Structure 1
Amino acid sequence: MAQDNRGMIYIAKLKVQLLTMCSRTSSNGGKKPLSALSLHGANNLIPMELALKIVSKIRTKERFSVYVVIPMWPEGEPDSDSVRAILYWQGQTIQMMYQIISQELKSANFENAHPSDYLNFYCLGNREERHREESSSGMVVDDEYVIIGSANINQRSMAGHRDTKIAMGAYQPHYTCTRKKEHPCGQIYGYRMSLWAEHLGCIENCFKYHENLECVRYINNVAEDNWKRYTADEYNQLQGHILKYPIEIGVDGSVNPLPGHELFPDVGGLVLGNPPIFPPVITALSIERNEIGK
């Protein structure tokens, strides 16, 4: 990644579940189950890496934005035990990311700054169908590098020794910030812009400089307006397909459901799920089966 004042990561279908459902060895050699809020032993480090990248940019006073598109809910019934558990861990992971960013903003004494100035989560929707599932996964970094395929942006897909996945990573050596000394506008940039045009229903000049706060706020405004249209009783056509993920982020990094939208529209199920009612090992096995079945 070029070390300049640009920075953006756009991720489609990031699997952000915090997989803490494992055991770590205690000092006496025995197995000690992790608590629901513990970060120790989490084997999905990608969300942490994203949060720490944002922290590093805050410390150097550079703009950096991460846009994450995830399914509105995982495959399955939103009110089933396994999906509720996945949604719970997903919410814990998102909160972990925002709290890390919030703590750094506070340490840096940034006035009027909010964690959502740097990190945002979205989902896709159609007004007629009420739910749109994005079936491919990918990530675009600084309009220089792209990875796309069936591999989810999570530890188990990227590790190379668990899931059987296919993904392609590519860059154009003549279209990098280092080589061009300006924003790269090659085929990866074109791919990202076409994707945004589909998701946002338009192309704006601010899209080129995706790391800027102007771009972040424009996309958030579209996503928030689309969510209101999506959940309204009267039919209103959406601008593109992007929706705000129905969570509210506090300046301290806390994560709560949007007021009045604690449940998913039409189908029910808590947006932030429930803590697993089974021991961690059983919950982990249930989630493993859910993932393997996809």
Structure 2
Amino acid sequence: MRTIFQVVGTLFTHHQKCVIVDTQGQGNHRKITAFIGGLDLCDGRYDTPEHRIVRDLDTVFQNDHHNPTFSAGVKCPRQAWHDLHCKIEGPAVYDILTNFEQRWRKAARWSELGKKIKRVSYWQDDSLIKLERISWILSPSESVPNDHPDLWVSKEDDPQNWNVQVFRSIDSGSVKGFPKDVLEAENQNLVCAKNLVIDKSIQTAYIHAIRSAQHFIYIENQYFIGSSFAWPSYKEAGADNLIPMELALKIVSKIRSKERFTVYIVIPMFPEGVPSSVAMQEILFWQRQTMQMMYDIIARELKAANLENSHPQDYLNFYCLGNRENLTEVPNSNASVISNSSETVASSKYNRFMVYVHAKGMVVDDEYVILGSANINQRSMAGSRDTEIAMGAYQPHHTWAKKQRHPHGHVYGYRMSLWAEHMGYIDECFKEPETLECVQIVNKIAEENWNKYTADSFAPMQGHLMKYPVRVDANGKVSCLPGFETFPDVGGKVLGSRSTLPSALTT
């Protein structure tokens, strides 16, 4: 009989991306600094805002050419990479350290068990360094609590000060140190299930941020699947995370109160790999179900409010990223084809390929940001599947409540820098992304870029933002764009197809 650990080990992954180091602090002291986000420590992740796919394959990307859509050794456009990552200092970093220690102790526990069975000596390398015993590294202790000013990066009255909170998706099968008592677990906002204690605070953080939003939400994520209980079909798929439903209900609440509200969502054109494969097609099928559910809810509310001249895409839009380069401007490029694959031939003929969106982040009202390793799907949000870590942050001196107007702190600057990268310039309307004017301009850029990306002849794109290749009508029905039932060059149905794979694997 298989144990839960065997099942988890087969289907799910440790998905946290976390690096913790000691860095220079004040005076002769050292401090702890952590890095978390979406970036893996592996090949294929390096990129620049230009997202080159053909240029510099013989130089910059010579030993880091990554494109899993095609067979190894085939010369083809590289898969450009877009990701979000962050550095954390101050009291919150010790929560990230605690996460590492809890995971380490869990892994070491199984290592110790094996050593006892085999009667071998213990490796001292399995022992964790106790920071409180190292006087020159600042850390919380009995005399210095977590919120002690000595651990702060800046003072509370500093205009550039940040408040940061760390969230996780993880359970007692992956960490050592969770309480076994139900009441104690509930006091720590943990969820108790059969033989498991679960931390699903990443999903809770997303829900709280969405419910608190007043103007707009901007999301970049590798996946977008959820709220299957409200899908048009396959309601029992098990993708029960609330994030898509919360977004739809937020838009509905703003329509009812006659206020503008916009949600922008950037996802990959298709999941990494071969888009026609069984697993990728099922992921795309779940994604289509999620989109359809959201647009249905919005369209029904627009009709109920007698807003016949409004369209669901005035409020909710999906985008992807892509690039196309002019080979005549790339001398001695190694993008020539050495394969009979029609997909490879087409991709290299047109020198185009998607920019893979691996980011996992959300900006709310230009005052609050969530960044981490968690995708918007059930695997990342359940807490009992993939392990994840994320942070939520804001600047107290740069909020709508503090400024009584649109805040222009670092969260605003971060979102604007992403938009400048994706759309190739800054428009004045980008400062007010909730407005219908902004939605229309962004959609115009995205549609023009899609047309340039898919055209037979080359024309330079304006940035990389493209409309996601689906059509949404006034009734909220999601269908293929005319002429694009499958993805350009690489095939695979845009709307996906159902398979016999376990839904737990693909949701």
Q: Structure 1: how far apart are the matches of 2:392 and 2:460?
A: 35
Matches within 5 A, 1:32-111: 37-39=233-235, 42-111=239-308
Deviation of residue 159 (structure 1)?
A: 4.2
Quick one: percent identity of the two aligned structures?
58
Q: Which residue of 2 aligns with 1:7?
A: 215
Partners of 1:54 and 1:118 within 8 A in 2 = yes
Matches within 5 A, 1:1-294: 6-13=214-221, 15-18=223-226, 20=228, 37-39=233-235, 42-128=239-325, 129-276=352-499, 278=500, 282-287=501-506
Q: Structure 2: how far apart are the matches of 1:140 and 1:44?
A: 19
Deviation of residue 13 (structure 1)?
A: 1.4
Q: Structure 1: how far apart are the matches of 2:398 and 2:476?
A: 36
Deviation of residue 2 (structure 1)?
A: 10
Q: Structure 2: how far apart are the matches of 1:160 and 1:84?
A: 25
Partners of 2:210 and 2:364 within 8 A in 1 = no
Q: Structure 1: how far apart are the matches of 2:286 and 2:376?
A: 16
Tell me, what secondary structure is at the counterpart of 1:68? strand
Q: Gaps (5+ residues) in structure 1?
A: 23-33, 289-294
Deviation larger for 223-232 or 125-134? 125-134
Tell me, what secondary structure is at the counterpart of 2:362? strand
Tell me, what secondary structure is at the counterpart of 2:392? strand
Q: Gaps (5+ residues) in structure 2?
A: 1-208, 326-351
TM-score normalized with structure 1 length:
0.86
Greater Rg, structure 1 or structure 2?
Answer: 2
Q: Structure 1: how far apart are the matches of 2:498 and 2:382?
A: 27
Q: Structure 1: how far apart are the matches of 2:252 and 2:416?
A: 26
Question: Which amino acid counterpart does residue 496 of structure 2 have in structure 1?
Answer: G
Deviation larger for 37-46 or 64-73? 37-46
Deviation of residue 137 (structure 1)?
A: 1.4
Tell me, what secondary structure is at the counterpart of 1:125? strand
Question: Which amino acid counterpart does residue 300 of structure 2 have in structure 1?
Answer: Q
Change (3 A) 1:110 1:121: same
TM-score normalized with structure 2 length:
0.51
Q: Which residue of 1 aligns with 2:25?
A: none
Partners of 1:2 and 1:177 within 8 A in 2 = no
Change (3 A) 1:268 1:4: closer
Higher relative contact order (CA 8 A, sep 6+): 1
Partners of 1:45 and 1:155 within 8 A in 2 = no
Question: Which amino acid counterpart does residue 233 of structure 2 have in structure 1?
Answer: L
Q: Structure 1: how far apart are the matches of 2:363 and 2:318?
A: 15
RMSD, aligned CA? 2.4
Change (3 A) 1:215 1:44: same
Q: Structure 1: how far apart are the matches of 2:299 and 2:231?
A: 23
Partners of 1:224 and 1:244 within 8 A in 2 = yes
Tell me, what secondary structure is at the counterpart of 2:357? coil
Tell me, what secondary structure is at the counterpart of 1:133? strand
Q: Structure 2: how far apart are the matches of 1:158 and 1:283?
A: 18
Q: Structure 2: how far apart are the matches of 1:3 and 1:158?
A: 17
Paired positions, count: 272
Q: Structure 2: how far apart are the matches of 1:259 and 1:170?
A: 42
Change (3 A) 1:106 1:243: same
